Structure 1
Amino acid sequence: MFINKFYSMRSSSYKGFSLLEVLITILIVSFGLLGMAALIVSGARSNNVAHYRSIASKQTEDIADRMRANLAGIISGSYDSLAATTPNSSDCKAAVCTATQIAVYDHAQWNSANSILLPDGRGTVTGSLATGFEINLMWTEKEMSNTDDANSNCPSGTPAKTRCFFARFIP
């Protein structure tokens, strides 16, 4: 009887967690929290990439709409080769312009908006009325690593960390 009483007193003093169990629990919870933080950062990065692609899509629609509105400029070949640089143009909102001047104005307005809306944004348009037009938007995407494969839509010689958005357009 005495032994049972001694044993029951001794076993009751060992109830609770040991220090090792607490440390293991903290370690497991820490890894879980680090995983959740990495997931949040990855989600924010993907959201940023999706935002830029959405802007690129809207900018592609913008130049296509500008071209549709100036069919005389398309017929005359004014949109056949729009470079990535922003040209100087007259203000066609305040003055009466020819179809060619409107095309230069559209090009200037479009590439100005590209540079504002996209980081280092620039766009090109190539093609003709007979073959259709290719619209290519490029911007710097800092989330891309240097080891990422070049975007297949980018022309050869495109700098690293550049994302390209490509669309075909037939007026």
Structure 2
Amino acid sequence: MPFINRTQSGFTLLEVLIAFMVLSFGLLGAVALQAQAKKASFDSMQRAAAISLGEDIMQRIRSNDTADIVSLYKQTFSSDTDLSPRDDCYTDVCSAQNIARTDLENWKAAIRARENTGSLDEATVCINITSVANTAGMGFDVSVIVSWRGRQDFKASDATKAIQCGNVDDRRRLVKLDSYLLIRG
């Protein structure tokens, strides 16, 4: 009769059980990492959309080369703002005021596109324009702030909290674009 060591029976089953638990924790960690990556990807998409929209209105302001840009473009509005009828500045000759109205309405429509793409929730846009004394012509500091509500809490710096555009809370995200515009007379 062969000799059987009874002190080691079931040891292999215990090793398999421990290996299974280690594998389970590893898979749970991989799933959690994937969830965090998806959140970061969504935040990145929102920021890219805000930068793109901010650059778009900045170029629209630059192309409407008029000394009245302060009265035409300086305003604050949200993605809930109703759209006004647009002027047909694509086929008709338009004044600087009509071009500005068309620019802003087209841009508001782009901000509202979030309903289709999910890009910017509860967006608020602030366009600030101030005159700057300049000997070469009329100068303006143009600041476009796009603020929206993110999906997770975020600890903002004091400088970011000080920017007054949109609701200031732990989920607010914002992009601020500054430029200088010179209108030669």
Q: Scaled by the length of structure 2, what TM-score is found?
A: 0.73
Size of the aligned set, in residue pairs, is 160
User: How large is the Cα RMSD of the aligned pairs?
Assistant: 2.7
What letter is aligned with 2:172?
Answer: T
Shift of 1:47: 0.7
> What amino acid is the match of 1:139?
W
Cross-structure match for 2:172: 162
Task: Map 1:53-64; keep pairs closer than 5 Å.
Answer: 53-64=47-58
Among the aligned pairs, what percent are the same residue?
Answer: 26
Structure ID, larger Rg? 1
2:87 is matched with which residue: 90, 94, 106? 90
Q: In 1, are the aligned partners of 2:144 and 2:177 still within 8 Å (CA)?
A: yes
C-alpha displacement of 1:93 = 2.1
1:157 CA drift (Å): 6.9
Farther off after superposition, 35-44 or 103-112: 103-112
SS state at 1:134 partner: strand
Moved more, 91-100 or 79-88: 79-88
Compared CA separation, residues 156 and 110, structure 1 to 2 (3 A): closer
* Structure 2 unmatched runs, 5+: 115-119, 133-139
Deviations 1:88-147 (A, max 9, x none): 2423224332101211221111122012142233322112242501100012212x22xx
* Match for residue 125 of structure 2 among 123, 146, 160: 123
SS in structure 2 of the partner of residue 22 of structure 1: helix
Please give the secondary structure, in 1, of the residue aligned with 2:113.
helix
CA contact (8 A) 1:78 1:100 kept: no
Unpaired runs of 5+ residues, structure 1, are none
Q: Is the 8 A contact 1:137 1:164 kept in 2?
A: yes
Distance 1:134 1:126, change over 3 A: same
Closer, same or farther in 2 for the Cα pair 1:157/1:165, shift >3 Å? Answer: closer
Q: 1:140 aligns with which of 144, 149, 172?
A: 149
1:149 to 2:131 alignment? no
Structure-1 residue corresponding to 2:117: none
The equivalent residue for 2:44 is 50
Q: CA deviation at 1:14?
A: 5.3
CA deviation digits over 1:13-46, x for unaligned, max 9? Answer: 9588533222211111111001111111111111
